[in-house]
Structure 1
Amino acid sequence: MKKIIFFHLLNDYSGSPKVLSQVIETVAKNGFDAELFLGGKGSAGFLSSVPCIKKRYIYKRYNNKILTLLSYTFSQLVLFVKLLRYRKSSAVFYVNTLLPFGAALAGKLLGIQVFYHIHETSIRPKPLKIFLRWVVQKCSSSNIFVSHFLAKTEGFHKIESVVIYNSIPPSMADIASRHVYQPLPEGKFSVLMICSLKTYKGVNEFVQISRLLSDNHGMEFRLILGATNAEISDFFSGITLPENLTIISSCSNVVPYYQKTSVLLSLSKPDEWVETFGLTILEGLSFGIPCIVPPVGGPIELVSENHEGYLIASDRVEDISAKLVFLQNNADVCYRLSEAAKMKSGSFSSEKFESGVIGVFDGI
């Protein structure tokens, strides 16, 4: 039985561990032996219950960026040393995101094939990104990119690569296929955004939009953040949040929120963070939810202007607010966008995702 050893830095409820969990489930049910190395202590996330042996290596994030960078560097040195015992292994290494470079270096040293699943382009500081790209160039046998935008932006000379679009899990897809979209679920026009607690994700812009529309009593806003209650309290300390905004902390099951959403927003700020795919956008589309997304990066492979939604930069908060009011008052437009959204989501099926993943490992 062929063995695949997976590497990820931090388990949480964000996109890259969610996709990795689907990859592990795919290879496991296709007869591969899977093992996973995770950084940090037993934090909850999408990788908590994957069907494979899990091993831990040291890593901790700090509020201080320098301390976090030192912790990260040390974690990769520890990981590198741990992997030296695989010197006679016939396994392959699967590095999820650019960050677990210790695994790639160990694989190169040991003569083990290294596969990279690349999700991101916005890595800071810049010298770190240059170094991580150098490691990929020297160590990778094959690269998987989550979008054509990312493959074009972060392509590597002479390294075989393939684009495998993310998909939503079959269990969610089944629920989404039976969902009947309503522009006014529960009698109100409901606006949703799901993201990590980072300013570059447009968290402040979402709050600003909800504040601009606080007098619109027929509209409500929900913000699901990949963070603890304490982290959320600290982030919004000293800020008075509008009454029409509800904030939900780390959420393992977002389905009930999609089922009562009128419009999904993605407000990443391209000058700080370019969205390379947008898994929450795809999830929204599968539920037939019209989406307003940035006009750059991976989201434009999911949403076309005035078809599945709208392409509006996150700094245009007044324009986004006006578009929400327009949709609130035009149910026929919402239904038209919803139908197109459902149809578009079919292009990103779990079957296509699984076929792409297994295709990468054919012949190894």
Structure 2
Amino acid sequence: MSESAPLLSSFQGASDEFPSVLEGKKVLLATESWGPVNGVSRTTRSLVEYLQAHGVDLILVAPDFKGDAAKQTQSWERRLPGCALPYNPDLTVVYPFHIGDVYRQAFKPDIIYLASPASLGFQMLLQIRQLRSSPPVLLNFQTDLSAYSEIMLPAPLDRFGVWLLGIVQGFLFRSPAVHTIFYPCSAIRGYLEHVGAPTNRMVQLGRGVDTVLFTPDQRDEAYRQQIAPNGEKILICVCRIAPEKGFEFLAQVAIRLAAEKIPFKLLIVGGESQPGRRKQSQATIPDLFLHCSVTETFGLVVLEAMASGIPVIARDQGGPSDIIRHGQTGFLVPPQDVDQFTKLTREVSKNTSHRKKLSTAARQQAEDTTWEKINRRAAWQIAEALTNADQESHSPSRQPRTGILAWVIEQVCLVLAVGVVYGMWLIAVVPLIVHGHRFLPRAWQALRNQFQCSRPLRK
């Protein structure tokens, strides 16, 4: 069992005030996800609102999202065309673009911030390496593409995809322009070290939670009675309905609980485009939150459940390992141990007094983690990068090469780098699309075969 690491790291020089040096500065923030409701877009939206509220001149660059077709984009948003992934249309692989065109549509920034860099962020990092004078770059590693590839790609492409992705990320993250690499948990730091990202640029940054929206006060006993009229324990899993979210594992747990004649109702809340189902999850306030994904770099839903006063049982991998205090606010289970996961679910659901203690402690921990604190820490790190920008721009590693031979070397390196990145997308994403369509139905069907699934209506 892993030890619970501090959720937030300390930033030298940070204070309770917004860094005034950022007021009026131009920040170009590029994110892989902006329209859909997920951890990346919620985290990024919170930071954008925080910076804009404090006088930062910000332009946001994001892929086109088909769910935004009828939505009016803001004047500070710039969208890039791409191809939506069929197995998850919320994500878009951006077509090739030139960073100069982005600058012309926005401005030449003082700072570049890359949220969860992938198809958009990788291209920007590649081109930033070729700029003779680049603004400092901060990137927030929020999506573990390596874990996605390992789970969803068929053998032997899984190992090859992980290896190739590691080469690409290590190369891009070592760019002299990169000032800070935010990482959300200790497991991700280990991965970054493994692929060769510079450790002296790594800074741990978690996520916050809205403790007003997510609170035990949302409990609706009448609605709870509608869902579990015979006093069944309510277990809930909130996540996008996708292969990497651990539905095969969840199916095994549910089947074992049913075989033991445990009276329970399992709510699976997914599909972010259905706000009514999100409201149902907030109003119900279940007894236990089951988190079966092993690809979470942080696991924002875990923190939201804790803020709602719900103990969490999660697989001990990724972000939840840093969030949950084992035995105090919930439990961590070895990733493949279905027996232990089932046993803890059964025991905690039956023991009311123990569950209440876990619930109280979970809420208290969440109250110490707000978006205000997270965003302020990020702002101070951005301010540090801006303050050091002039000194970095004159360092030997940032001096441009001169001469025809140097120009040829630069162009060859660029072509090779672009080839590796697009080769990675071709090799990894295409099989991911095909294999992802085949993977999810098996787990989903196992749950449907075991239970008569219904969608309770909001009163």
CA contact (8 A) 1:8 1:38 kept: yes
Q: Distance in 2 between matches of 1:19 and 1:64?
A: 23
CA contact (8 A) 1:58 1:78 kept: no
Q: Distance in 1 between matches of 2:355 and 2:87?
A: 44
Give 1:133's aligned amino acid. Answer: G
- More helix per residue: 2
Q: Which has the higher contact order (CA 8 A, sep 6+)?
A: 2
Overall identity of the aligned pairs, in %: 16
Give 1:266's aligned amino acid. Answer: H
Residue among 125, 128, 131 paired with 2:168:
131
Q: Distance in 1 between matches of 2:232 and 2:37?
A: 28
Q: Distance in 1 between matches of 2:220 and 2:354?
A: 12
Q: Distance in 1 between matches of 2:283 and 2:343?
A: 23
Q: Distance in 2 between matches of 1:266 and 1:152?
A: 22
C-alpha displacement of 1:41: 3.5
Give 1:91's aligned amino acid. Answer: D
The gaps in structure 2 that reach 5 residues or longer are 1-23, 150-160, 226-230, 387-459
Deviations 1:212-242 (A, max 9, x none): 3347574111112246xxxxxxxxxxxxxxx
Listed as ranges, the matches of 1:201-350 within 5 Å are 201-214=245-258, 216=261, 218-226=263-271, 250-251=274-275, 254=278, 256-260=280-284, 261-269=286-294, 273=295, 275-350=296-371
For the residue of structure 2 that corresponds to 1:176, the secondary structure is: coil
TM-score, length basis structure 2: 0.63
CA contact (8 A) 2:311 2:358 kept: yes
Residue among 39, 55, 59 paired with 2:82:
59
Q: Distance in 2 between matches of 1:351 and 1:118?
A: 20
User: Is 1:165–2:203 an aligned residue pair?
Assistant: no
CA contact (8 A) 2:187 2:317 kept: no
Q: Distance in 2 between matches of 1:50 and 1:224?
A: 28
CA contact (8 A) 2:29 2:60 kept: yes
Q: Distance in 2 between matches of 1:77 and 1:303?
A: 40
Q: Distance in 2 between matches of 1:164 and 1:50?
A: 29
The gaps in structure 1 that reach 5 residues or longer are 228-248
Match for residue 92 of structure 1? 111
Match for residue 241 of structure 1? none
Give 1:5's aligned amino acid. Answer: L
C-alpha displacement of 1:166: 0.3
Q: Distance in 2 between matches of 1:84 and 1:154?
A: 29
Structure 1 outlier segments of 4+, above 6 Å? 48-52, 180-184
TM-score, length basis structure 1: 0.78
Q: Distance in 2 between matches of 1:56 and 1:152?
A: 33
C-alpha displacement of 1:144: 1.6
For the residue of structure 1 that corresponds to 2:368, the secondary structure is: helix
Q: 1:213 to 1:4 in 2, by over 3 A?
A: same
C-alpha displacement of 1:63: 4.3
Rg comparison, structure with higher value: 2
C-alpha displacement of 1:311: 1.1
Q: Distance in 2 between matches of 1:85 and 1:329?
A: 61
Give 2:326's aligned amino acid. Answer: E
Match for residue 200 of structure 1? 244
Q: Distance in 2 between matches of 1:29 and 1:91?
A: 18
Match for residue 409 of structure 2? none
Deviations 1:152-197 (A, max 9, x none): 43143265332221002xxx31133462779994343211112233
Stretch of structure 1 that moved more, 92-101 or 113-122: 113-122
